[in-house]
Amino acid sequence: QVQLQQSGPGLVKPSHTLSLTCAISGVSVSSHGAAWNWIRQSPSRGLEWLGRTYYMSKWYSDYAVSVRSRITINPDTSRNQFSLHLNSVTPEDTAVYYCTRAGSRNYDFDYWGQGTLVTVSS
Amino acid sequence: DIQMTQSPSSLSASVGDRVTITCRTTQSINSFLNWYQQKPGKAPKLLIYSASSLQGGVPSRFSASGSGTDFTLTVSSLQPEDFATYYCQQSYSIPLTFGPGTKVDV
């Protein structure tokens, strides 16, 4: 059974970097056909896909245009987890952040982390 | 980017009602459409993938259909645990996008 467990701070100061980690159990982060995503949800923006990383003989990443200049999603194969780093945050980045898995079946998000409310405030 | 719309944005229903939610996309996505249910304070839960395939463990009162740009989710007989917000999501192209949601309440 795949499980995703998120960790990271719930409060980040403006202009600082938001960092979250998603620990994976039940499957390898390097599994072919799976992609590891970060999604956020806020009242103003709804559900917003931020980006993904996946392994297909080598590692790839894709990011949403809205955050492309500020985001990095990295796999950590030694710990079987992946991380989100979003720099230069503003209050508009306040949201619940989710890590998810998308399988090769239809790129549906079949497993989700528990969610982390991140507030950007001084 | 592929934009998603859902209608209605909210609806009031009673236990036992048949409920239908519509999702439309700004371009054809074949059957790359998924549906999720979200309850307050919880992560979304996958209900339907590939436009009409029921995710394992999801009750058979949930069904969905459509292809191209028009899709529907139907709950044949609403149960108390079905009061929630429902989202569609396209997995046809990057960036992956979600609909704005349909809230189903009493």
- DSSP assignment string, A57-99: SSEEEEE-GGGTTTEEEEEETTTTEEEEEE-S--GGG-EEEEE
Tell which of B38, B48, B96 to mutate to test the A interface (max A CBs under 10 Å): B96
DSSP bridge partners of B35:
B48, B88
For the segment B29-50, the average pLDDT, to the nearest whole number, is 97
Mean pLDDT of chain B: 97
> Does B37 touch chain A if contact means CB atoms closer than 8 Å?
no
Would an 8 Å CB–CB cutoff place B34 in contact with chain A? yes
Cβ contact (<8 Å) for B89 and A105? Answer: no
Do the chains contact at A108 and B91, CB–CB below 8 Å?
yes
Two tokens at A25? 């159990």
Q: What is the pLDDT of residue A103?
A: 85
Closest CA to B17 of B83, B66, B65, B72: B83
Residue A106: which of B34, B45, B95 has the nearest Cβ? B34
Rounded (10°) CA dihedral A120, A46, A48, A69: -40
Closest partner residue to A109 (CB to CB) among B42, B46, B97 is B46
Tell me the percentage of chain B whose pLDDT exceeds 70: 100
* A104 has a pLDDT exceeding 90: no
Confidence at residue B106, expressed as pLDDT on a 0 to 100 scale: 83
Within 8 A of B56 by CB-CB distance, chain A residues are: none
Look at residue B61 in the predicted model and tell me its pLDDT.
97
pLDDT tens, residue by residue, B56-73: 999 999 999 999 999 999
DSSP secondary structure letter of residue B84: S
Local confidence band at A31 (pLDDT 50, 70, 90 cut-offs): very high
Q: Is A46 in contact with B101 (Cβ distance < 8 A)?
A: yes
Residues of A with CB below 8 A from B91's CB?
102, 106-108
Question: pLDDT band at residue A44, thresholds of 50, 70 and 90?
Answer: very high
- The answer to whether B45 contacts A47, with C-beta atoms less than 8 Å apart, is no
Residues A66-77 have pLDDT tens digits of: 999 999 999 999
Distance between B54 CA and the closest CA of chain A, angstroms: 12
- A112–B89 CB contact, under 8 Å: no
